[in-house]
Structure 1
Amino acid sequence: MAKIIICALLCVAMFGSMAAAASGGCREANGTSPVSGSCDAYIECKNGVAEEKLCPDGLLYNEKSTGYPCGYPIDVECTQAQSRLQAAQPTEDCPHQFGYFRKGDAGNCGQFMNCDAGRGFVFDCPEGLAWNPATYKCDWPDQVEDCDAEAFLGFRCPALAPKSELLGEQEADYTFHPSQDNCQVYFICIEGRPRRIGCGEDQAFNQELKQCDDIENVPNCSSAIREKGAQIKAARLHAKKN
């Protein structure tokens, strides 16, 4: 009886090996799997027939995807040893056929380009923010490694006063500074690097409070800005009543 069971188990193992060999390396009859040593190649199996494929230039194989198997590098964790990628296929617009890329130099960090099949589409980050290639998001310029926040924002943080044993340490490691061009804008300097903050349309930066305030409480705004702010505030109050 024991010999019969052992023979049966051997037959099952041999049948499994033959089935795997017949499937051309497929782990499942239908699905995808990675190619050893590559981050943008993959094996696609259809009805047990395997075919090696490449993701489009700029995309990587995403083993965790339940749909299209290729994704942006930020969404893919490729841990292949000595991984290789296909040669880039740049166009006049794009460094790769697909992907997101910053447009501009270190002093012009606020635009990025979405490349789709080699065609580039340019987008602007919200004012005061820079494109962060590490996160694929618009971010504070001081958080973007290759962005010159001072040049980009047109504002340089003043040097911090030296610490004094008599006065003690500084209360905060950030300071507030009004914009010289727009009373509705101010800068926060964090560790010597600026961030641009815009107040609402009916508000302005109050230097005494170090925050945005009703525009009527900020005397250094021009009459035109104050009038426009009053109109916007009145329109909002009217809309709330209705």
Structure 2
Amino acid sequence: MEVVKFILFFLVMVVVTVGATDSEVRNPLRKRKPQQEQRQRQPVQQEKDAVSESITCPEEFGFFADAEQCDKYYTCENSVPTAKLCPDGLVFLEAGSSIEKCEFPFAVDCSGRSVLQPPQPGLNCPRKNGYFAHEDVKICDKFFFCVDGAYNAITCPAGLVFSNATGTCTWPDQAKKAHCSSGELFEFDCPKVGVPVEGETVNPHPRYADPKDCQSFYVCIDGKVPRKGGCSLGQVFNEKSGQCDKPKNVPECKDWYKGILDYDEEGDILTTTTKPRRPASSNSAGKRKGPKRPVVINEE
């Protein structure tokens, strides 16, 4: 009888074991699922380990620029580095290990660290943040200021152009942009000056009248590069004296403000009758003739 019970017990255990084995075959992910989840998390863990193993903090605490990428830096806490990125369009400013600050590229020297994160462009914004020239290379005096992908259109004062190098408006000869030279913008070239005779005093920055505008003139820097200037309202440029003067003293410009300003017999302004504005298609009056950084460990 005992033998029969043992045999029955043995047969039941065989059936249970076979059933479990069969169930495992039919559902292979049941026991392997935790292993699969571990494999899915593994690349992230490897990335963290790669940063900690390949980068050594120069100090126990602080903020340090990446050696190759200008908009990347590291936060070191207890000598453990964490990689960070500046907002798109900004780069990390090395201003001391205690300062965490991102700045515009024109304010930071990125020599040897020219790599940047992929851009996130938007309307009129090649990157989400920064100062950017107009997309039309021949429009030199307009640019866009972008903040988090939203832009503001800005126009430079008359005679100035936007400079990519400084993010500000400056003289065309200083900006040094294609299609934005002084000659192209003003359609004016400084006259060539002959060699001065002995004892003659020569103005190194001579002034010349704007042939199209009585109120404007050009200053030729070193006699070569024109920069546009202008007289105050009610005055015109007197080429003979090289100064701004009353219209009555410059015959070709005596009617420049006609219909806009009134003068007394001495040439002084009496009243302003309307907003001063000289249309481009005006009559012939006024036309002239003529630091510390994290160290990368070599893993070889």
User: CA RMSD of the aligned region, Å?
Assistant: 3.3
Larger radius of gyration: 2
- 1: distance between equivalents of 2:167 and 2:204? 28
The offset of 1:28, in angstroms, is: 4.5
Q: Which residue of 1 aligns with 2:233?
A: 201
CA contact (8 A) 2:63 2:99 kept: no
Secondary structure of 2:214 counterpart: coil
**Per the alignment, do residues 179 and 104 of structure 1 end up closer, same or farther by CA in structure 2, a change over 3 Å counting?**
farther
Secondary structure of 2:262 counterpart: helix
| 2:128 is equivalent to residue 97 of structure 1 | yes
List per-residue Cα deviations over 1:2-46 (Å, max 9, x = no partner).
xxxxxxxxxxxxxxxxxxx9xx948354x4222232211111246
- Bigger shift: residues 123-132 or 68-77: 68-77
Secondary structure of 1:95 counterpart: coil
The offset of 1:83, in angstroms, is: 4.6
**Per the alignment, do residues 167 and 106 of structure 1 end up closer, same or farther by CA in structure 2, a change over 3 Å counting?**
farther
List per-residue Cα deviations over 1:104-147 (Å, max 9, x = no partner).
55543111211212222110111111112222221111222112
Q: Which residue of 2 aligns with 1:41?
A: 72
| 2:175 is equivalent to residue 140 of structure 1 | no
- 2: distance between equivalents of 1:187 and 1:98? 36
| 2:265 is equivalent to residue 230 of structure 1 | no
| Residues 108-127 of structure 1 aligned to structure 2 (within 5 Å) | 108-127=139-158
Q: Which residue of 2 aligns with 1:210?
A: 242
- 2: distance between equivalents of 1:67 and 1:216? 62
- Pairing partner for 1:52 from 83, 102, 106: 83
Identity value in percent = 32
* Greater relative contact order structure (CA < 8 Å, 6+ sep): 2
CA contact (8 A) 1:107 1:151 kept: no
CA contact (8 A) 2:90 2:129 kept: yes
- 2: distance between equivalents of 1:82 and 1:143? 25
CA contact (8 A) 2:90 2:104 kept: yes
- May I ask how many residue pairs the two structures share in their alignment? 207
CA contact (8 A) 1:98 1:118 kept: yes
The TM-score normalised by the length of structure 1 is: 0.70
Structure 2, gaps ≥5 residues long: 1-52, 273-300
Q: Which residue of 2 aligns with 1:76?
A: 108
Structure 1, gaps ≥5 residues long: 1-20, 234-242
- The one-letter amino acid of 1:70's match is C
- 1: distance between equivalents of 2:190 and 2:115? 47
The offset of 1:225, in angstroms, is: 4.7
- Pairing partner for 1:151 from 181, 184, 189: 184
**Per the alignment, do residues 143 and 225 of structure 1 end up closer, same or farther by CA in structure 2, a change over 3 Å counting?**
farther
